[in-house]
Amino acid sequence: MVLQLIVRGNAPTSTEALNVWNFDDSAPSATTAAALQSAYEGFAPILSDDATFDLDPVGRVLDDATGLLLGFEAVSWSAPVEGTGVGLRGPDASCALISWQTATIVGGRALRGRTYLPYPSLSVLGEGQITGGGLTAFQAAVDNAESDFGPGGLVIWHRPVGGAGGVAGPVVAGVARPEYGVQRRRRD
């Protein structure tokens, strides 16, 4: 089973941004929520100081094989997380990008995932890339998040498609990408 948590990001003059995180549901939901809050606190230096992030109060428990909703979990953070990167906020289309790797193979391919963190601070953005010091801090935050989530905690969930069952693969490594990420919705 997968515990799905949603983090809502807000910044002035921008639309709300959502990050969907999937976790193995074997840990208590409060522990998982606290680890996710710690991760966002680590990401704060690269996120604009006018942006705030908060956990949606209801997590969803899903059957990873079928995608069926099995129940809800009440979750919360002690307080919203505020970005601490000074200066202007990057364009709304620009995000800090984390690439996640698993050791899980689905349909002959390695299962991988991405997290787009909205509202990066221009203080850590250079010519289309995160600057050296900012990238070092970002990678350290990703490494700390992996440690906080614990082995097998964070998963990449491949939803059931075309009759094939879904698969949740535990994250084994995360890489803070130096370039901006731009998320393009598949339905656009």
DSSP secondary structure string for all residues of 138-165 = HHHHHHHHHHHH-TTTEEEEE--BTTBP
pLDDT of residue 185: 59
How many domains are there within the chain? 1
CA 13 to chain centre: 22
Does position 12 have pLDDT exceeding 80, yes or no? yes
Q: Tell whether 6 is covered by a domain.
A: yes
Pairing of strands 52-55, 58-62: unpaired
Question: Is 182 within a domain?
Answer: no
In a domain, 188, yes or no: no
What average pLDDT does this structure show over 51-68?
95
pLDDT category, 187, cuts 50, 70, 90? very low
Average pLDDT of the chain?
Answer: 89
pLDDT at 101: 96
Residue 125 confidence (pLDDT): 67
Is 187 among the domain residues?
Answer: no
Residue 148 resides in a domain:
yes
Distance (Å, rounded) from C-alpha 95 to C-alpha 116?
A: 6
Residue with the bigger pLDDT between 173 and 26: it is 173
In tens, the pLDDT along 34-50 reads 999 999 999 999 899 99
Confidence at residue 93, expressed as pLDDT on a 0 to 100 scale: 81
Examine the pLDDT at 84 and tell me if it is beyond 50. yes
pLDDT (mean) for 67-90: 92
Does residue 86 carry a pLDDT above 80?
yes
The pLDDT-based confidence of 188 (bands split at 50, 70, 90) is very low
Mean pLDDT of 149-174: 88
pLDDT at 131: 80
Dist. CA 83–CA 48, nearest whole Å: 5
Mean of the pLDDT values across residues 53-60?
96
Domain housing 60: 2-176
- Worst-scoring range by mean pLDDT, 25-39, 40-54, 157-171? 157-171
Mean pLDDT of 103-116: 92
100 in a domain, yes or no?
A: yes
Q: Which of 71, 67, 74 has the alpha carbon at shortest distance from 32?
A: 74
**Whole-prediction pTM:** 0.90
Secondary structure E strands in 35-92: 52-55, 58-62, 69-74, 81-82
